[in-house]
Every structure is written in C-alpha cells, then in structure tokens.
Structure 1
Amino acid sequence: MSIHAVSPLFVGRARELAALGDALVRARAGVSSTVLVGGEAGVGKTRLIGEFTDRADDAMVLVGGCLELGTEGLPFAPFTAVLRGLVRELGRDGVAALVPGGTTRGLARLLPEFGEPGKDGAEARARLFEQVLGLLERLAEERPVLLIVEDAHWADRSTRDLLSFLVRYQRTAGRLLIVVTYRTDELRRTHPLRPLLAELGRIDWVTRVELRRLTRREAVAQAASILEREPSPATMDLIYARSEGNPLFVEALLSEAGGGDALPESLRDLLLASVERLPDETQELLRVASAGGQRIEHDLLSAVAGLEESALSRALRPAVAGNVLMVDGEGYAFRHALIREALHDDLLPGEHTRFHTRYAQALDHDLSILPAPRGAIELAHHWHSAHDSTWALASAWGAAAAARKSTAYDEQLRMLSRVLELWDQVPDAVERIGADRLDVLKQTATVAHLAGEYERSIALATAALADLDYATDPIRSATLLRQRGLTRYDLGRPGHLDDLRQAAELTPADKPNKLRGQVLESLSRMLHMPADWPERLATARLAMEIAHEVGDANTEAHALISFTWSHSKYSEIEAQMEAFAEARRIAYRDEAYNALMRCAISESDALEGAGWHERAAQVAREGVEEAGQYGLARTSGTFLSINLAEPLVSLGRWDEALEVVEHALDLAPPAPYRASLQGFATDIALARGQFDRAEKLLESSRSVLARGTYRDQTVLPHLCREVQLLQARGEMEAAMGAAGRALEEHDLLASPRYSWPVLVTSAQLLSAVVPPAQAGEAARSGGAALEGLARLGAALLPRLRALGQELEVEGDLQQAQRLTFTALTGPDTPLEGAVEPFAWQFKAWELAVGAWASLRQPYAEARSLVGAAHAALATGDRQEAAARLARARELAGRLGATPLLEQLDVFGRRARIGGSDEAADGHPLGLTARELEVLREVTNGRSNREIAEVLFISIKTVSVHVSNILAKLGVATRGEAAATAHRLHLFDASP
C-alpha cells in the first residue's frame, strides 16, 4: 500500500476557490481587487493558493513571501522576491523599461541590479512605493497580474506599509488582483498585522476569506485520498479528534501513524517523526537548514553545509521527495513553517550556536549571496542567535545602515536598539562601530521619529541628554534637543518650544553653521501664537541668513516661508506670493522637494485665507500634480488635496470637491490628513441634508482627533460641524452646549481665520432658536422647551457679541464673516431713534450678501439672502423680499442644498411671496391646520398625553395626527419631526 505525502484530492475549499476565481474574472475585466486569505497554521492556505494559481491561465503570477528570522522580519522581502522573479523572466533591462519615468533608483533599494539608490530621506520611501505600483500598472497593461504575498503575519513594518499602499491605490493599476495570506493563530492582540487587516477590510474592493477546519466528512475524504482507501471509522475517530480537522495534522497523523494506530505526544513529535524517516545525512542537512529560516538560498545552504554539490544534492533529494522541503526559486522552503520550527527547537544548545555561527561566517565571507538589505539583517540575526555579542553588535550596526538605504526605518530602529542592548557586553564597542553610545542614542532617537515611534524617540533623546554635559558637548546636545522638540511638537506635547530655544542657545552664534540654521528654522515654524510672532519673525530671518551663507537651500527656503507667514497679512497677498515664489526658486536649486511642496501648500493656503478661491484652487491643483512627479502623492499630494478641496467648497463646486476628496482618500493619507479631507465632505453632506453620511464622516474624524492634540485649523472647523449636525438633527440643547463649550475652551482670539466661522455658526444657531431681538420675550412666554432654549441663547449672546467686537478682521473673507455675524446678532450699540431696527437689519444683510457675492461663495450668499428677505418683508417691502428669495432659490438649487431649499419654500408659502406653490389648504408641506398645531407641540417637547390636554382632543387622535405628520415629513421619529420644524423655521415668530 502506498501513502501519498499530500492528498491528491483537494477537499473542502470549493467556496474559497470560487471566491478567488471570481476576483480574477473581475480583474480580467479591469476591476482590481484584493483578497485576504487567513487561517491557522496547517489549515491549507498554501494548498489553496497553489490550486488557484494552477487555474490562473493567462495571468502573470508574481509570488513573494514574508520571511521569519526568530521574531524578526525582513524589509520588503516579498517584493524583493517578486522583483527578482521578474528580472529572471524579463531581464534587468526589460524590467527597467517598465518603470515609469525611466529611472530605477527607487527599485535599487530592493535589488542591487538596479544600481545605487538615490538620496535618502522621507521622499525616498514614497518614490519607492510609487515605482512598485507603476511597475504593476505597466505589467497589467499586457495581461492580468496576480500578486500573491504569503505569510503576512511575518511581514515587517515596511512590507505592511507598501502592501497597504498597493491595496488602497490598486484601482489605478487596472487588471491587478492582490492575494495576501496570513496565519490567524499568530495574530495575538498586539500583533501589528491586526490593525492593518481591520483597516483594509473597510475598503470596498477588499474581501476577507478565512479558511475553516475540515468537517469530519471532508477529513475522511482527505484521508481516503492519501491512503488510497477509506480509513476505518475507529481510525478516523482518533485522527479527527487529534487533528481537530486541521488538514496538515490529518496528513501528518496518517503518514506518521500508518493510519492512526499510534499517536505522538505532541505536534512537535509528530512533525519531527516525518523527518526522522529520512536518511541521516538528509536529517542533518535539514537541521542545518532550519537555522537559516523558512526559506534559504541554495548557495547559502551549500556554503553553510560544507558539502560538495553532488553530496548536497544527494542529501536534498529525499527531503524534496518527502515533501519536507520544496524548491522555491533559487532556493528551498520548508513545506510548512511548523516543520522548520520543530526542527529548530529540537536543536541541542551546541548545535544551535554552531549552525548560526556557520551562517554568520558564510554571510561575512560573501554578503552578496543575499540581496541587500536582507543579507546584512540575516547576518545580524545569525550572530545574535550564535550568542556572539561582539559580532552581533557590529553586524547590527551595519544592518541598520543597510536598512536606511531601503527606507526601512522600522528595521533600522530594531537593529539600532539591538546595538544599545548589547553595548555593555562589548568593551570595545566604540572601536567596533566608530561611534560612541551617545551617537547611537542620537541616531536611534531620530530613526524612532521617522518610524513613527514618537514616545520612544522622546525617551531615547531624553536618556541621551541626561548623559550629556551641555557645556562641554553643546553640538550633540543641541541636535538631541532639536530632535526631542520636533517629536514633542508632533505629539502635541508641552516643552517643544523650550527644547528648541535651548538648542538655539547651545549652537555657536559666532560663526554660521548648518545646525544653527536648522534649529532656528524649526523654532520659527512652531511659533504660532500671536504673542510669539515677533520672535517668529526675527528667528526666521536669522535662520534664512545663516542657511543662505552655509549653502543649505532646504533650510533657507523653509525659513523664508516661515518669515513670510510671520509678517504678511491676507490684505497683502501679492507680496506673499512674491516671497513664496522666491522660496520656490531657492528650493529648486538643491532639489529640496520637501520645501517645494511646502511652498505650494503655503501659497494655496494664503490665497484661500484671503478669499482668492480660484487662484488657491489652481495653485493647489498644480501642487498635487507636482507631488505625483516627486513621488510624494500620498504625503504632500494629499495635504495639497485638502488645500484644493477647501476653495472648491467655497466656490460651490461641490461635486468636483468630492472627487478630489475621494481620490486623495484612495491614496491612504496619514490620519490627520484623512480627517481634514473628510471634513469638507461633511460640510457638503450637511448642506445637502445628508445627515447620516455627515454623522459617519464626523465619527471618523472624532476618532482621529481623540488621539492627539491639533491646531485650531483642524479643531475649530470640526467643532462647527458638530454644532451644525446637532442643530440639523433638532438636538438644539446639545447644540447650544457644544457652542458654549467652544467659546469657553478655546482661545478664539488667537486664530481669527478659523474663529470667525465658529462665531457665525454659533450666531446662526441662536437665530434658529429665537431671534436675538426676541430672546427676552421668548424667555418670558412660550413652551417650556422653547423657554429653556431662549434662556440659553440669552446667556450665550453677550459672550458672542463681546468676542465679535474683540476678534480681528483681516482680508475680504473675514470681513464677509464679520458682516454676517453682525447681521445675525444685531448692532454692537443701541440704534438711534431715527433708525428702524428692521431697516438696519435689511441693510446689514445686504452688506453681507454683497460681500459673499464678490467672493463668489454661492452658499454663503444664498443664506445671507434669506436673512435679507426676512428683513425686507419685516419692513413691508414684499417686492424686495421676493427678489431676494428668488435669487437664494436659484443658488441653492444649483448646489443641491436641499435643507435650504426647504426653508425657502416654507418661508415663501408663509409669506405668500416668491411664486411658491401653495398646498390646497394654504399650509406648508401638505400639513393640515390641526397637524401643524400638533407638530408645534411635538417641537415643544410635549408627550401625546400633554398635547391632548392642551388641544382638548383624545390621546388616540393625537397619535393619528403624529403618524400622519411623520409620513408627510418623511421622517421616522418625533425627534426628526421636531428637527425638521426647527430647520424650516416653521414656528419662528413672524417678522
């Protein structure tokens, strides 16, 4: 009787195979997608992928796996493997011809065949990501591409980042299917892959498939296929109970126990038993191979084993035939990681040290056996596993340098951390690496910041500073203080300004030097409060002069931008544009991409703040395109998309703004950028009455803002949206509370550009509750709910007016906001007897309408026209009221601003002006007179019983009226009905 090592029959995976097949069909049609395939170890992920790729037909199959070395991964391992496979198939020049832009310096970070990498820095990583995606796009033009990333549970951070980028932006690649496999049993609560899977799972084109264990019937079919006969029920009972349906365990049990006659004590024994049946020389080679990791190159295994080629082949063949090892490109892979782990764990202490030492020596002799930075990192791993502290430290230092060239900051951080861990064990560590411990701490703090480990960066910088004598070592002290200050700023922590000021004091002032220029530029950029602006101006000027003298174009351009912001005003926008253009010229001299992007960001932001919306949009759009050319689409490009969406919203080009937002979100921007982008989508959703969508968007923004401390430009617009949504929902008391907290908890005088919208939003809320002129009357009479709200309004109004008097006005945009605020809250001083209140109000609204019209902001203009129409009607001028109403309706209609259109319709019906269609009975929204009475009481918060008592009708009749009201208003609850009444001003006191 023969026993197959692997079941010839593929069982229990028809549904999963069909899901992958459907995804490939969609990819062939040009609809890209991703499938995440999870399952515990041994459940059959590899077999599923193998069966699927066998059916892939015309697709180009690119396979790369994540590598595991102890508890460490290798940066970009699967993508390096894919690239090597492409080079083998197409040749180096063939791959290079497919790279967008014709430059392969980014890919050189993965394979040395592509030459030397370009400059290091934040942009290098972004360019690498863009080039990998561009390569896949070009390949997919020829035929469908199937990219398989195996064992993502071992993925290093760099691999996870690149994978996330490709998945989010794969729709641009056309015919691309990405399949990712991972072990679910490895995903402990703190495993770094868990948040990535959750994040990717929310993307529309991502599907998750989790392989379950086999049912008993499926396990029987698998066993029968392996044994070539049906096992006895008793045997199958034992095997199924022990394996619990894990296909690998079923297979191993059958192979080990000859059908289940004897069971091993543990899985390790079971897996090692399959190895022990192999020849002794093969077992010895497998033990050597187990120290090399899950996958091992042939040349490296040959060098470590010390066997002649014929002897090596003779030892390998039984392992491959016995399905313990599989041929994998230019090397070998264990059929299952559990087999390698069991072998490695079973090594004797002496064997463990000896084998890892052999690997380290082989790599030391010829590091080119493995591609960079994998070779350097594996070398460090093996010296560390061999317990050789001296060489472990030295190789970790070298691996850190190799990881930096690949922009693999997380791996660089891990290697530098190992250097610090081993430092005290190596007496001559300084001589070994050419740097002292403080230098290592300084570099590790910087890399921790780049890797996003902000807390750790602060701790490392603080530890280094504690060991430094500022007087005797001022340069390193200043460098570390600057690093800690930058990181504290990113975390919103106090002390960042103190760090930077102290760093500035420590840098030599007698002779210009690059570090002093950098410190002063960083300091000037972080001085935001009005009281600090004189210092910001002087510091930026000095940084600019120093950077110019030492030839640091990047710092000089940044300093000029900060200097321009320090002294320019929105009323002097042309002068600002000239200064930003000069900063751009300086940055171009040294290809300072970061400074160039900041120029575009600053220009578009200043133009928008001044109310020059068209030019702001043009500059931002050009900046987005420029960011793509520099490989910075995900970072600077998405930030500039924020600056593009804002003027488009102002100009009423809402659909275009939504397209910009969606495109930027597809690029997976940093969380704060995502929150800002979603903020503009929220503005449009609120204006169009899409309140459920607005709530979802706001919830997403809340989760981001809760994790950090952000500046007014992010926080204050969010507060406005919170108030507006509560008001739209009819939760007026909660809206009033939110507005009151905004006034109390924020220094609104510090940021006029972002504070004026807060004041206007709060004033609009008060006018919806009760007009300021009638607050006192409403507080004395009216329903209990209205009376309570009026009291809140009466308390809030004086604070609002006081802030409005103190807050500065700079530029046409803020002037328009100030005029709107004044029209909403009334004059600052009592009117003279000769001026009628409503005549004054009409004039105030007319000024606001004119200001918004000149700025070409149709939504703000339409809302101001509503105020002007009310005021005109109050003065008795129905013709002027009708004209304002018609213009407002025209603007709102173009925008699709449904709530405003509804408000205009109700106002026109009540006033019988503007050509509004009347209901047969003359009442708004088709409500009867009695239904309007009931709705008024519902809006006042009365129950059905209370309404029945007030209107002298039965409770049952009230219930019928309420049901009719909900149906006519198209709402589901009494609260929504009340919200609609508030929004449409159905029960406002007549002018």
Structure 2
Amino acid sequence: MSIHTVSPLFVGRSGELAALGRALSRARAGTASTVLVGGEAGVGKTRLIREFTDQADDALVLVGGCLELGTEGLPFAPFTAVLRGLVRGLGRDRVAELVPGGTTRGLARLLPEFGEPDRDGPEARARLFEQMLGLLERLAEDQPVLLVVEDAHWADRSTRDLLSFLVRYQRSDVRLLIVVTYRTDELHRNHPLRPLLAELGRVDWVARLELRRLTRREVVAQAASILEREPSAADMEVVYARSEGNPLFVEALLSEPDGDALPESLRDLLLASVERLPDETQELMRVASAGGQRIEHDLLSAVAGLDEGALSRALRPAVAGNVLVVDGEGYAFRHALIREALHDDLLPGEHTRLHTRFAQALEQDLSILPAPRGAIELAHHWHSAHDSTWALVSAWRAAAAARKSAAYDEQLRMLSRVLELWEQVPDAAERIAIGHIDVLRQASTSAHLAGEYERSIALATAALAEVDPSGDPITAARLLRQRGLTRYDLGRPGNLDDLREAAALVPAEPPSKLRGQVLETLARMMHAPDAWQEKISIAQQAMELGRQVGDAATEAHAMITLTWARFRYSEIDEQLESFAEARRLARKAGAYNAVMRNAISESDALEGAGRHEQAAKVARDGVTESDQYGLARTSGTFLSINLAEPLVSLGRWKEALEVIEHALDLAPPAPYRASLQGLVTDIALARGQLDRAESLLAASRSVLSRGTYRDQNVLPHVRRDVELLMARGRHDEARELVSRTLREQEPTGSSRYFWPLLVTAAQLGGPLLSELHALASRLKVEGDLQQAQHLTFIALTGQPAHPDGQPSPEASARELADGDPGLADGARLAAAGGAEMAAWRLKEWDAAAAAWAALRQPYAEARSLAEAARAAVVCGDRQGAGDRLAAARALADQLGAAPLLAELDAFGRRARIAAADEPAPDSVPHGLTARELEVLQQVTNGRSNREIAAELFISAKTVSVHVSNILAKLGVASRGEAAATAHRLGLFARDR
C-alpha cells in the first residue's frame, strides 16, 4: 500500500532545475530570457515548475495555464489568470498605476475589473499586447518577474500570438523570465503550436528544455519515497517496465491496490489519443496491441488481413496522432501503457483469437522477426492463446534460441514458463526430450547468468530435492557446483560445503571435464589464509585436468586463480604476463565467462598495485565487452565497480558517479549494488554529504547483514561507518566499532582493505592507540614484522599525542624498529619531542604527499599536504605551511571536498596563515568570516539560498543566517546591494 499519492522526493531533475536557475540568474542580471519546457503527459513538467518557483524566492512569480475546451482553448486564458492574481495581490488601482499610458481599457478585454474595453479593431489588439508587456516590464523594475505559461499545447490562436509578442519584443535589459510548458505527445504533425516553437527557437535568448523519462534508478528512488520503504527488485522490475520511467505513471501504478490493473484515471488519459482516431484505425490498434509493444509491418499485415493500401490508410492517422511511432521496419506504441490499456479492453474471445492468429502467422514464417525474438514471441502468443502444449514446446525452443543469443533473462523467463506448464502437459518430458530435473538445472544456470542469484539458488535446491546422489552422482554434483558458485556470489554460507560435496561425488578416474570444473570452482572460492596452499594445489589439479580432457575454459579459470594466488602487488608485471596468457587461452576457447573473470581479476590487481589508469582501462574494456556476451548485469556491473574504484582514486569523481549510475540502472545483484553504493558513500563523505552517506550505508548494511562476505566488502564498509560517526562527532561510538572490528577481523591477509581502516582509526587517538600497539606487538610475536612496523608507523604519524597513562607509541616503535632505520629515527625523535619530531613528521608527510601525487590520487595528496602544513607551522616555516596549505586547498576545491576545505580554512585562521589564493584574515573587510565570504560570492553570482545550500553542502536555513549576517556586516539592505558592494571592493576579482 502506498503512503503518499505523489513522491515527496523530487527525483531526477537536477540538471533541468539548474538550467532554469541559470535562466533566472540571467534575468536577474537584466538579460532577456525565455525557456520552452516540453515533455510527454505525466513526465513531470508541473512538478519541475513548482520546485523551481519555490526556489525563486526573490522573484514575483506569475502563473497562468491554458485550458482545453474542445478543439480550441479559452482565449488569453493564462494571461487572464495572471491579471486576476495581480489584482488579488496588489489591488486593482495599484495594477492600473503600473499600466503604461494611464488607461486599462486594453486590459479590460481580459478582466472586467478594468472597466469597459476600448473600440474593436486592429489597434485594440495591439494596445492589449503593448499594455500586457508594459505591465510586466514595470513590475520587473521592482523585482525579477517570472512568468509561467503552462500547457501551451492547448493555447488558442490569440494566446499564441500574445505569447510570441511578449517573447520577441520584451526589452533586452528587463528582469523578466518567461517559462512555457507544453506536451510533446500532443503535438501531432499539424498542431498549431509547432510553427510557434520553431519560430521562437530561432530567437537568441530562447532556450528549449525537454524532460526525459526517469531512469530505473530514479524510479526506484521515487517509489521508495512514495512507499516510505525500499521496494523489492521484483516489484520495481514490473513498475519500471510498465511505466517506462514516466513519473505520473509510476505514482498511479503504485497507488493501485491491484498491482496488475490500470487505474481508471490513467486508462482514460492513455486512451484519449486513441479515441480521437477513425474507427478503422482504432480497430487496427486493437489488433496491433496483441502483437506487443513493437510490431513488424509484415507481421501486422499478415494478422490484420489488409492489403498494403488499406493497411497504410489505417496506420497513417495513428502515426500522425502520436499513438504509434515508426520504428525501423515496423511500428511501436508511443508508450507501453497505451498498448496495455488497449489490450486489456479486448473481449476474452477476441483476446484468444488474436493471439492464435499471431502464433499461426509466426509458425508459417518465423523469419519475419529476427532471432531470438521470433521464437520468444511465438511462445508468448501460444501462451496467451491458452494452448498449454504448444506454449510449453515453443517456450522450450525459445529458451534455446535465447541461450544461443546470450539473452539470459529471456532464457530464464522461457524456462520458468516450461516449469509452470509442466503439470498441465502430461507428456511434457517426451515433448521436449528432457526431464524435469534437467530443466531445473538449466533454469538455475540461466538465473545465475542473468544475475538472479536468489532464484538460481532456489532452483538448484529444488532440483537437488528430486535427485538421488547415490543413484545419479553426476547430476547431483553439477547442481551442487551451481548452487555453491551462486551462494558464493551472493555471500551465502555453505558454498564451500556444496563444492567439497560435489568434488567427493565425481570420481577422480577416469579424468573428466566435470571434475575439473568442480575443482576449479572450489579453488576459486577458497580465501582463508590457512587454506592458501590447498587453494593453489587444487587449482593446479584443475588446470592439469582441463589440459587432459581438452577443456580450455576450465584451464583458463584455473590459471586465473593461480595467477591471483601466487603473486604480490610488488610482482605486478609478472602477474600481468600470467593474466595475458590466461586471457589468450580463454579467448581461443571462446570461454567468455573466463574472459570476463580475467578482466575483473586483472583490473583489481592493477588497482591494488596503484596503477589506476591501467586498472580503469582494463575494466572499461571489460564493461564494453560484457554487453556482447549478455553479461552486462553481472560481470559488467562487477567490472563497473572495478572501473569506478580507480576513478575515485584518481579524483575523477564525477566520471565515477556516472559509471556507478549506469551500473545501478541495470539492477545488479545485491552484493554488487552494495559495492557500487559504497564508492558513492566515499565521495559523499569526502564532500560532506552526510545524510546521503548515512542512507547509502544503511542500504549496504542491509545487504551485508544477510550474507557472509570477504574483507574486501566488510572492511571498507566499517571504515565508512567510522568516518561517518567521526563526522557526526560520535567519537566514542567510532572507537567502539574499531575495537570490535580489531577483535573480530584478522589484519594479516587483507592489508589493502585493513590499513585504510587503521589510518582512520589512528585519528581517533585515546584508548585506541593502545589497541593498535598491542596488535603490533602480537604481529611481531607471530613473525609478521613488516605489518607490525607499518602499524606502529600509523600511530606515530597519524596521532603521536595521547592521554597520560596510555602506552607509548614511541616505546612500541623502538621495540619494533629492527631493520627499519626510518621507524627507529621516528621513535627516537618522538621520544625527544618538540621541533625535532615535527621536522621528522614534516619530512614523512612531504614524502607521503609526493608518493600520492606520483600515484595521481589528489584527495590523499591533499590530506598529506594538510598534515605537512601543520608540521611546517610547528617547525616555524610559515611560508612553507602557506604553500602546502594552498596546494591542499586547490586539490580539495577541485574535488568539492567541502569538509577538508573547511578544515584547511579553520587551520589557516587558527595559525593566521593565508593560502596563496585566499585573502589573509586581517584583509577581509567588515569582519566577514571565510564561510560568509563563500556565501557572499554565491550571492554575487545571483544564486538563491537553495542553490547556495546545494553548492556549499549546507542547509538553506544556515545560508539564510549567513546572508542576514552578511547584510548586517556590510550595512546593506538587500542581496543586490551586497553583490554590488562585493564588486566595488573587488573581493572576487579572480573570478571575473
């Protein structure tokens, strides 16, 4: 049940809202501006305008809409509404004072409050137009004016003429923005608004803005806002497919208690354009609705039984009326719900008869449609015609065609239909020459390939319930391997148990392809540190078996596992050579799953070794290739994780977010979605978007809580949780979370994911330092001296100061410094304290900043420069501190890392050091703070409070407080005066 009839959250229109905001900024500055906003019915034009006008807090907003009255609208309807609103707000006399010429007889034609109209004739019409424009220009002298004319597709000739006059003849320096909305789907070929839009589109100050439908991810966000809960992936698949991203349709479908039925109001809206068509065209549309969303011309001709001339005559009004659109060699309904509404109106006998005619036409010539579409549509029509036997047979054939085309979603859908119909067809096994267990097994495999992991596990489990392992060990082993593989991908327990049981069921002699596959999969899933040697041994056995039996796919997979297990990041060049050999082997064998896995492993290894550009290239190529193999939703989205990660490292955050958005639109499996959202969380935390980070973390937490995942999933999530708690000021909770993680997780096998968490933890200081030192001592006792030294170095450089009574990091350093002169030197200087320790820290942080710069990781570089600046101040090098501060600030500003910027500015003020591109604290006029200067700069750029809040990552209420303080400190009465003062003082000269 829905909680809201409309979405409380405004989704997917940030770009359009920004474009309107820029147009209003131009109007504020005295530049004529008009925006024409088009979009189909329900796409969100009215909501966009409402959100925009809510933000235009300094403008006089005038709104009028055109009305539909038969074939022509009400003359001047929007302008009559605008005048009535002005009279209600200002009073008749005040409005009359503003009308040029001192007479309102022209406006009296629109509103009787203005007296008797002047004489009829051409001059009367011209006088009305002049008075309307003059009134708007007079109003704009006091404040910016925003005139909104809605639903211009219903505008009458008089309204269109006046609108054209206002746009064309407004003064170039008037503070007036005109926004016009219209429905694109209403604009048939001869619609009278078409020439006006073309005419206005050639005017220099006119911009056109067309609202697209929402993406799947945006529809999920809209639905979650309406329902006040995260909708299930299955529900969203249906809602998105039916609505095709139209926001109004989404709201209507979610508000309907019977999820399959179209709400009457929506049905009426959809069928309105059909009911205007000639009777013969409406009848053809009913026939076409049984053919699906898209129908080939030849197929429609065969089913409709019309000759070419009659068919063309019946089709032409549907295309001209925007019910159908020409699509290649056929036609498509403008919206899927139009077809659905027409199809739902078919009578039962008519429904069966039409689908039977489509099935028979396809049986006669399946080549009318391309493969596998022909086979799939044939199965659909037999099923819709309620012929169970032929529905089952055709679904089985369609599944094979889909598999051949790597269309795994369709293959799963067809196999699911075979399973649904199985009991209705007594001789089902004989009809398709395969048993029920094997259909289940194929369905489980296709579900895994399609990314439906839960479904894959359920199907494999159902098949295992029907098989006797003692009587048919090979089938049982295949099912156990499939279930173990999918359980692993979904983070479910029991995956290794399934694979070990499968290995036990397949005999070692004679050598077999299945045994090689089972051993390879088992080796791939083993990640515990104490199982490393067994992993390598089993992978070697699998690779040898693959060679023996000629199974190059298994040989390639095993080689990838061995390559991953044998090499360290310091041996990346040798590892890449081995990956290249595995890739060559996989490609030669046509083993596309191995090709994809090799790309995943290679890009991950490159990122771990700090070769971000190479990692991004390998991952990007793999994402592209995954489409060719039908694996975009599985391997493709995994590779999107591996593409976004180096982009985040490189500071290309906008690009990373675009990659992630595209991947999320594919509805990836839950663990992949959580990893993608985790990278968005990293950016949100760095930019100070704490509410967004909290929401994303909650979504990831719900996924991780349902499975057992590796360190690469768990530890980054913990680090993000700690960073969020620290940003919220909840340091005790952050320390407790780190302490619990240190007790539960072993750092020895996952340094790539553990050390970032420890670096974050060191910033918390206090009792945590003693835990880090204790862990370092334990690692030394266990013989892992390198890890122990790294951990102590974190404590020394990250947080050398600690409360009295806590163990000394310097003592730990001295104890662990064997063979590490740098650490020994740091321990000695830390014990001495003071300037010597600061000099050592300065050297180390400068080296760290240089290392991050070499790796092209700007965020980490900026943080290291910030620490180096602090150390430089202690060393008395104020110039050097300022240089480092300026460099750090430039990097943080480029990334939009607002918290780091605020931290740098606060440090600069405390230390009384100005960054190279910032005014010194003493030089800021009128006592403005750094944040007030930032707000003033945005005010000077003509931005509203909401726009400033979005830009600076603060609340609109906080912006309002800053603006009030700025006006008071500058001694001015308005935002315009504040902007003028800023220009006069040359505060932002560098931006001009």
> TM-score range with shorter-chain normalisation?
0.5 to 0.7
Show the 5 A alignment for 1:165-244.
191-192=235-236, 196=240
1:691 aligns with 2:688: yes
**Residue of structure 1 aligned with 2:795, choices 806, 821, 827:** 821
**Corresponding residue of 2:116:** none
The answer for the alignment partner of 2:889 in structure 1 is 893
Name which of 774, 796, 813 aligns with 1:802.
774
What is the distance in 2 between the residues matched to 1:552 and 1:520? 13
8 Å Cα contact 2:464/2:479 also seen in 1: yes
- Tell me what 1:937 maps to: none
Amino acid at match of 1:798: S
Distance 1:11 1:845, change over 3 A: same
Residue 856 (1) aligns with residue 852 (2): yes
Amino acid at match of 2:568: K
8 A Cα contact 1:540 1:560, kept in partner = yes
CA contact (8 A) 2:810 2:828 kept: no
State the shift of 1:495 in Å.
0.8
Q: Is the 8 Å Cα contact of residues 403 and 412 (structure 1) preserved in structure 2? A: yes
Aligned to 1:837: 831
Is the 2:507–2:515 Cα contact (8 Å) retained in structure 1? yes
2:763 aligns to what SS in structure 1?
Answer: helix
Work out whether residues 479 and 515 of structure 1, in 8 Å CA contact, stay in contact via their aligned partners in 2: yes
Return the alpha-carbon distance in structure 1 between the equivalents of residues 543 and 499 of structure 2: 16
CA distance in 1, matches of 2:296, 2:875: 87
Q: Which amino acid aligns with 2:460?
A: A
Taking the TM superposition and a 5 Å limit, the aligned residue runs for 1:511-660 are: 511-610=510-609, 613=610, 615-625=611-621, 627-628=623-624, 631=627, 642-643=641-642, 646=645, 653-654=650-651, 656-660=652-656
Change (3 A) 1:208 1:806: farther
Q: Which has the higher contact order (CA 8 A, sep 6+)?
A: 1
What letter is aligned with 2:731? M
- In the alignment, which residue of structure 2 is the partner of 1:700? 696
Tell me which amino acid in the other structure corresponds to 2:347.
Answer: H
Aligned-partner residue type, residue 819 of structure 1: F
Distance 1:248 1:195 in 2: 16
Could you tell me how far apart the structure 1 residues matched to 2:299 and 2:483 are? 43
Shift of residue 759, structure 1, vs aligned partner? 1.6
Does residue 486 of structure 2 align to residue 487 of structure 1? yes
1:636 offset after TM fit, Å? 5.8
Q: Structure 2 unaligned runs (5+)?
A: 1-67, 79-148, 164-181, 198-207, 221-230, 253-263, 801-808, 816-826, 930-960, 969-992
**Counterpart position of 1:448:** 447
Q: Distance in 1 between matches of 2:913 and 2:285?
A: 91
Alpha-carbon offset, residue 761 of structure 1:
0.8
SS in 2 for 1:398: helix
Give yes or no for contact 1:243–1:249 (8 Å, CA) kept in 2: no
Other structure's SS at 1:765 match:
coil
CA-CA distance at 1:493 after TM superposition: 0.9
Task: Identify if the C-alpha distance between structure 1 residues 665 and 58 changes in structure 2 by more than 3 Å, giving closer, same or farther.
Answer: farther
Name whichever of 447-456 and 892-901 sits farther off.
892-901
8 Å Cα contact 1:849-1:861 kept in structure 2 = no
Distance in 1, Cα, partners of 2:724 & 2:307: 74
| CA shift for structure 1 position 498 | 1.0
Question: For residues 188 and 758 of structure 1, what CA distance do their matches in structure 2 show?
Answer: 32
The DSSP-based 3-state class of the residue aligned with 1:403 is: helix
Partner amino acid for 1:803? Answer: L
**What is the alpha-carbon distance in structure 1 between the residues aligned to residue 571 and residue 232 of structure 2?**
57
Equivalent residue for 2:497?
498
Q: 1:820 corresponds to which letter in structure 2? A: I
The farther-off stretch of 409-418 and 485-494 is 409-418
The answer on whether the counterparts of 2:678 and 2:717 sit within 8 Å (CA) in structure 1 is yes
Contact 2:865 2:887 in 1 (8 A): no
2:463 matched to which residue of 1? 464
In structure 2, the residue matched to 1:135 is none
Matched, 1:410 2:382: no
Shift of 1:574: 3.8
1:921-960 to structure 2, matched below 5 A, reads none
Q: 1:701 to 1:384 in 2, by over 3 A?
A: same
Cα distance, 1:899–1:437 mapped onto 2, change above 3 Å: closer
Cα deviation, 1:718-771, whole Å, max 9, x if unaligned, reads: 3323322332343334433443444455454552221122122111122xxxxx
Say whether the 8 Å CA contact 2:480–2:501 is kept in structure 1. yes
* Residues in 2 aligned to 1:816 and 1:390: alpha-carbon distance in whole angstroms: 69
Residue 456 of structure 1: how far off its partner (Å): 2.3
The equivalent residue for 2:760 is 761
Point out the more displaced range, 739-748 or 492-501: 739-748
Query: Which of residues 186, 194, 203 is equivalent to 1:48?
Result: 186
Instruction: Give the deviation of 1:600 after TM superposition.
Output: 4.3
Distance 2:270 2:849 in 1: 72
- The whole-number CA distance in structure 2 between the counterparts of 1:303 and 1:429 is 31
The answer to whether the 8 Å contact 1:287/1:344 transfers is no
Separation in 2 of the partners of 1:335 and 1:682?
39
**Paired AA for residue 688 in structure 2:** F
TM-score, reference length from structure 1: 0.56
CA RMSD of superposed structures (Å) = 6.0
- Number of residue pairs matched by the alignment: 689
Write out aligned runs for 1:303-322 (5 A). none
Q: Work out whether residues 620 and 641 of structure 1, in 8 Å CA contact, stay in contact via their aligned partners in 2.
A: no
Q: Does 1:399 align with 2:398?
A: yes
Picking from 335, 344, 348, the partner of 2:347 is 344
Residues 301 and 46 of structure 1, relative CA distance in 2, 3 Å threshold: farther
Q: Deviations over 1:166-185 (max 9, x none)?
A: 999xxxxxxxxxxxxxxxxx
Given that 2:685 and 2:693 are in contact with CA atoms closer than 8 Å, whether structure 1 keeps it comes out as no
Separation in 2 of the partners of 1:759 and 1:881? 30
SS in 2 for 1:827: helix
Q: Which amino acid aligns with 2:889?
A: G
1:48 partner letter: E
Q: Secondary structure at the match of 1:707?
A: helix
After superposition, the C-alpha distances for 1:632-679 in whole angstroms (9 at most, x for unaligned) are 6887676556546555655xx52x354344355346464755655565
CA contact (8 A) 2:440 2:459 kept: yes
- CA spacing shift, 1:707–1:52, aligned 2, 3 Å: farther
Describe the superposition over 1:346-372 as per-residue Cα deviations: whole angstroms up to 9, x where unpaired.
x3xxx8777765654554344345554
Give distance in 2, aligned partners of 1:804 and 1:724: 23
Segments of structure 1 that go 5 or more residues without pairing to the other structure are 1-5, 23-43, 60-143, 150-159, 169-186, 213-241, 256-273, 767-792, 928-962, 971-991
- Report the equivalent of 1:63: none
- Change beyond 3 A, Cα 1:540–1:55: farther
Structure-2 residue corresponding to 1:364: 363
Offset of residue 296 of structure 1: 7.3
Q: Distance in 2 between matches of 1:629 and 1:847?
A: 46
In structure 1, what residue type is equivalent to 2:773?
R
Kindly state the Cα deviation for residue 620 of structure 1 after the two structures are TM-superposed: 3.0
Measured in 1, the distance between the counterparts of 2:443 and 2:660 equals 32
Please give the per-residue CA displacement for 1:369-427, whole angstroms capped at 9, x wherever unaligned. Answer: 55544443343344445554433322221122233344443333232222223323434
